Amino acid sequence: MISVLIPTYNYNAYNLVAEIHQQLIKSNINFEIICLDDGSNWQHNNLNEKINTLSYSKFEILPNNIGRSAIRNLLAKKATHDWLLFLDADVIPVKSDFIATYYRQISKNGSVFCGGIAYEDHSKNKSFLRYKYGKKHEEVALEKRIKEPDKYFFTGNFFIKKIVFDNVQFEEKLIEYGREDLLFSIGLLEDKFAIAHLNNEVYHLGLDENNVFIAKTKKAMENVIFLEKEGFLENEKQKLLKIVQLLTFLKMNFLLIKWYPIFERKAEKLSSVWYLNLLKVSYVCYLKKKANG
């Protein structure tokens, strides 16, 4: 009935798997849980090995790193059930009926369901730029997500028919962090598969240090340029590229290029989403200028 698919890298996924396993048993449905480590050689993978002690659950370590998109495709290939539940390793369900909520969707007229992302309001989290960014841009009310279903599609928590996933899949040219969710949602809409949003959130637990999150953000911007170059994105559909296009037309991009290192330092030091967003725009200006010589 349901295959739960969890990619991991240098992270202990056992607590997540144990919670999901308990909910699946309670729901009395056929299931399997597959967790793959993407060749991380993590010294604490013995923690993940405990997954193999749970019924209908397995943990495997890939011999080589294949990337964020390819590992999700591989997980789907290994799946034996008709419905796939993709979860990031660093999340945990907000509600005890998380599985039951997704299970109820099987009888409805839909093929892709996105439960949403939330962030725990612990005082220790509030100093992280990753937390502030997530609260502002990712923890979004259901009403807003429904209006822009592709914009708020996150790979860390979605439920999809296997036959639909096999038709779309993740773009394996994307190896590094960032924008695989955007490209996948575009593929779904192009193939006329509607994305339905639900109140079925998971907490995002893995909050990177500011410097790590900023480095990942820059990598995601590099992926935007790569996707544009490969013809996967259209400027008029992408707000960020449209802004950069306007700034270039107004010849303001050169000023932003000079300032992007300043925005980067400010974002890290102040945990500022404002400066992070400025960094994203200015860094894309820099990348496009670099690509054009």
DSSP letters spanning 140-170? --HHHHHHSTTTT--TTEEEEEHHHHHHH--
Burial (CB count within 10 angstroms: exposed 0-12, middle 13-18, buried 19+), residue 227: buried
Residue 231 pLDDT greater than 80, yes or no: no
Report the candidate in 224, 156, 159 with the shortest Cα–Cα distance to residue 195. Answer: 159
Q: What is the pLDDT of residue 176?
A: 61
Residue 235 pLDDT greater than 60, yes or no: no
In 82-131, DSSP assigns E strands to: 83-87, 91-93, 112-114, 117-118
**Measured distance CA(31)–CA(1) in Å, rounded:** 6
Residue 180 pLDDT greater than 80, yes or no: no
CA dihedral 185→186→192→197, nearest 10 degrees, is 30
Q: pLDDT tens across 18-39, in order?
A: 999 999 999 999 999 999 999 9
Q: What are the residues facing 203 on neighbouring strands?
A: 92, 118
Q: What are the residues facing 274 on neighbouring strands?
A: none
Helix (H, G, I), strand (E, B) or coil at 136: helix
Q: Check if the beta carbon of residue 88 is closer than 8 Å to that of residue 155.
A: yes
Mean pLDDT along residues 53-68? 94
Q: pLDDT tens across 35-55, in order?
A: 999 998 888 999 999 999 999
Residue boundaries of the structural domains of the chain: 2-204, 210-291
Mean pLDDT along residues 112-138? 94
The letter for the amino acid at 100 is: A
Burial (CB count within 10 angstroms: exposed 0-12, middle 13-18, buried 19+), residue 177: middle
Residue 123 pLDDT greater than 80, yes or no: yes
Residue 174 pLDDT greater than 80, yes or no: no
Report the candidate in 105, 133, 99, 111 with the shortest Cα–Cα distance to residue 220. Answer: 133
Q: Check if the beta carbon of residue 39 is closer than 8 Å to that of residue 74.
A: no
Percent of the chain with pLDDT over 70: 95
Task: Count Cβ atoms below 10 Å from residue 39 Cβ, excluding itself.
Answer: 15
CATH superfamily, with its number, for domain 2-204: Spore Coat Polysaccharide Biosynthesis Protein SpsA; Chain A (3.90.550.10)
Mean predicted lDDT score pLDDT of the chain: 90
Q: Check if the beta carbon of residue 83 is closer than 8 Å to that of residue 29.
A: no
Chain centroid, CA 148 distance in Å: 17
H-only helix segments in the chain: 14-27, 45-49, 68-78, 98-105, 129-137, 142-147, 162-168, 180-190, 210-229, 239-249, 253-270, 273-291
Q: pLDDT tens across 247-279, in order?
A: 888 888 888 899 999 999 999 999 999 999 999
Kind of pairing between the strands at 112-114 and 196-197: parallel
**Measured distance CA(22)–CA(260) in Å, rounded:** 47
* pLDDT tier for residue 281 given thresholds of 50, 70 and 90: very high
**Measured distance CA(121)–CA(151) in Å, rounded:** 24
